[in-house]
Structure 1
Amino acid sequence: MHQERRGALLVFGSAAVWSFGGAIARFLETSDSWVTVFWRSVFAAAFLLGFMLYRDGPATTRKLFIAMGLPGVGVALCFATASTCFVVALSYTTVANVLLMQAGVPLIAALLGFVLFRERVSLATWAAIATVIAGVAIMVSASLGGAVSPIGDGLALLVAVVFACATVITRRHSDVAMMPAVCLGTLIAAGVSGGLVGHFAVSGADLGLLFLFGAANLGLGMALFVTGARLLPAALAALIGTAEPVLGPIWVWLIHGELPGARTLLGGSVVFLALLAHLAWQFHQQGRAADNTLPPGAA
């Protein structure tokens, strides 16, 4: 029970950190998506590698990279794909479309977990997933009238699928430390984008913002997520992660003064209340289960 609560807090922390991405991106002057992906990935890799070296030392860090095996490589490829496609998708389609695709992550994770590993999902979790999808749909409904971009929306859907895959793999192989995997993922993304970028030059202001975008937003968010996701059912971890699109518009409003519309506020409230209600129910159930396992008179 204690581990699940810790996991829930860590995953929520990752969603909170990631939710600042839109506010940071609004400050960037560069319009080249591949330049953004490259520098963001480089700074995220530096942060994650530096953290592991500080925490574990060079010898243990090397052992962790070797010990992650194929599950770690799978998670690395998933996160490399997700972080790259997310930035590129925003240059083709609207933020609204990307957020709507992200709302499907809990559903995809739940289905993958059940089909592949028979990880059962409670009716309450299914209800919360449906409510979250409805809430995000309300949030973005006001800006879905534009032309649909098959490339942008396809990339956004790919982000949702690979993120759900990473969540399921992390949960399934909870004995494997996935911090090296996400570090490898950022290195893969840096290598791919570095081969496609026309130039690496950015302004000093952009370089500082890209450091924040990479080290704090991407790197710290990934570290929190893979640490917490291994302690939770895949569907629940993905469900908590949907706090990101709810918090994102709030930071844009507070930092850039862009007031969210009525539908954004309504949909965000639906999502937030669904998450709070489900977490409260989850912890209540765990508390009852813990009380039932106590010997007579132990309470």
Structure 2
Amino acid sequence: MTDAASSPIAVLPIVSRREECAGFLLVFLSALMWSFGGTFARFIHADDSWTVVFWRSVWAAAFLVCFMVWRDGLRGTLKLFRDMGLPGIAVASCFAIASTCFVVALSYTTVANILLMQAGVPLLAALFAWALFREKVSVATWVAIAAVIAGVAIMVSESLDGAVSPIGDGLALLIAVMFSIATVITRRFAHVRMTPATCLGTVLAAAFAASQASTFAVSGHDMGFLFAFGVVNLGLGLAFFATGARLIPAAIAALLGTFEPILGPIWVWLIHSEVPSVRTIIGGAVVVTALLVHIGLEFKRQTRPVRPGVSGLPSPN
């Protein structure tokens, strides 16, 4: 048998339908956790954004360490870090770069521009997975990706005033590229537990933020929300994503992640009374409809009995 690591066309891991369904749910839950980011941020009054990044990353790292120790024990956790190898380091670097670029990009461009770039994550993930590992992308997935990009474009179109910065938009594109690569690597190396990689990513982000922050002092009020910002929004979201993304195709994992920019404005609207614009509602409806239809078709496909002699898996040749 050809070694998958040395073969130009990778053999994707075999997962059961139950595991694939669990992967769908876990990746959706990661997007749900990440969607609370804007709501938590509205409660924090710290002036230095690097201070926020530092404490958020520290609390996320602490949560992920405690989660792994609880699940695998101290020796098991240390083994996970040792066994993650280069794929884990690559995923950690991707998440660290993406989280850092997000903060820097906000100084040059609008959140709307960043969200528009992130709408391309499913497309980039599908392209990377197909080009590098020949992971098949169905026509239905391509259609859903196109609908998601169109919907998010409608959502942010009111904020695109033409005053764009090449640096800001370049960083926003880099965020999308890094997240896409992390998604594809997590899927390709499904045998590698990526939770320690996400933990390392938060440590790297915290270390860089520490070198940029003007102060680490925050109020008790801010620290409480920074704790929730790090544990619930970042830490739990990363844990769900690292566990679920290895069980489903990269394009679909990235597609489910698009629920984050859709649900985010809803929580801010409900909690902070920031009413979304008409275009945001229309674009969000397009995206949610595309996602729900696609996910429904995927679950319908999974419930069909497999014909004898048809594995449904890509050929290693």
After TM superposition, the score normalised by the length of structure 2 is 0.90
Query: Aligned equivalents of 1:151 and 1:28: distance in 2?
Result: 27
Counterpart selection for 1:115 from 119, 125, 131: 131
Structure 1 residue 151, shift from structure 2 partner: 2.6
Query: Aligned equivalents of 1:273 and 1:25: distance in 2?
Result: 28
Query: Aligned equivalents of 1:92 and 1:287: distance in 2?
Result: 47
Matches within 5 A, 1:153-164: 153-164=169-180
Percent identity (aligned): 66
Larger mean Cα displacement after TM superposition, 94-103 or 215-224: 94-103
Contact 1:81 1:159 in 2 (8 A): yes
Q: What runs of 5+ residues in structure 2 fail to find an aligned partner?
A: 1-16, 310-317
Which residue is equivalent to 1:96?
Answer: 112
Query: Aligned equivalents of 1:15 and 1:75: distance in 2?
Result: 18
Structure 1 residue 265, shift from structure 2 partner: 0.3
Q: What runs of 5+ residues in structure 1 fail to find an aligned partner?
A: 295-299
Which residue is equivalent to 2:273?
Answer: 257
Which residue is equivalent to 1:272?
Answer: 288
Query: Aligned equivalents of 1:14 and 1:26: distance in 2?
Result: 20
Matched, 1:228 2:241: no
- Root-mean-square deviation (Å): 1.3
Counterpart selection for 1:185 from 186, 201, 212: 201
Structure with bigger helix share is: 1
Matches within 5 A, 1:1-299: 1-145=17-161, 147-288=163-304, 290=305, 292=307
Number of equivalences: 293
Q: Deviations over 1:233-263 (max 9, x none)?
A: 0001000100111101000100110111110
Query: Aligned equivalents of 1:171 and 1:207: distance in 2?
Result: 35
Contact 1:33 1:91 in 2 (8 A): no
Query: Aligned equivalents of 2:76 and 2:260: distance in 1?
Result: 33
Structure 1 residue 204, shift from structure 2 partner: 1.5
Which residue is equivalent to 2:11?
Answer: none
Contact 1:34 1:88 in 2 (8 A): no
Query: Aligned equivalents of 1:119 and 1:258: distance in 2?
Result: 41
Q: Deviations over 1:44-67 (max 9, x none)?
A: 000000111111111110001000
Runs of 4+ displaced beyond 6 Å: none
